[in-house]
C-alpha cells in the first residue's frame, strides 16, 4: 500500500481501512503465536501499513485546521 494511494481516500475510508488492517495484524499475531505463520515479514509489513495510514490520517486532519 502506497502513501500516494492512501492520500486519495477520504478520512472515513482511511479509518475503515485502518480497522481492517488492525484486524489482519491481530490474526497474524495469533498465527505467529501458534507457529502457523510461515512468512513473518507479513507482520512487519502490516505494521508499516498501519503507521502509513496513521500518518496520512494525521496529515488530513491537520490540513483541515
By CB atoms closer than 10 A (0-12, 13-18, 19+), residue 56 is buried
How confident is the prediction for the chain on average, in pLDDT? 93
CATH code of 3-64, in short, is: 1.10.287.310
Contacts of residue 61, defined as CB under 8 A and 6 or more positions apart, other chains included, come to 11
The answer to whether 43 touches 32, Cβ cutoff 8 Å, is yes
Q: Where are the domains of the chain?
A: 3-64
The pLDDT tens digits of the residues spanning 4-14 come to 999 999 999 99
- pTM for this model (two decimals): 0.87
35-62 pLDDT tens trace: 999 999 999 999 999 999 999 999 999 9
- pLDDT band, residue 63 (cuts 50/70/90): confident
Tell me the C-alpha to C-alpha distance, in Å, between residue 7 and each of 12, 52, 60.
Answer: 12, 10, 8
Amino acid at each position: 500500500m502506497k502513501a500516494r494511494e492512501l492520500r486519495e481516500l477520504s478520512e472515513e475510508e482511511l479509518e475503515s481501512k485502518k480497522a481492517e488492517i488492525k484486524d489482519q495484524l491481530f490474526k497474524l499475531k495469533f498465527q505467529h503465536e501458534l507457529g502457523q505463520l510461515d512468512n513473518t515479514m507479513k507482520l512487519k509489513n502490516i505494521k508499516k501499513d498501519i503507521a502509513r495510514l496513521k500518518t496520512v490520517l494525521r496529515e488530513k486532519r491537520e490540513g483541515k485546521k
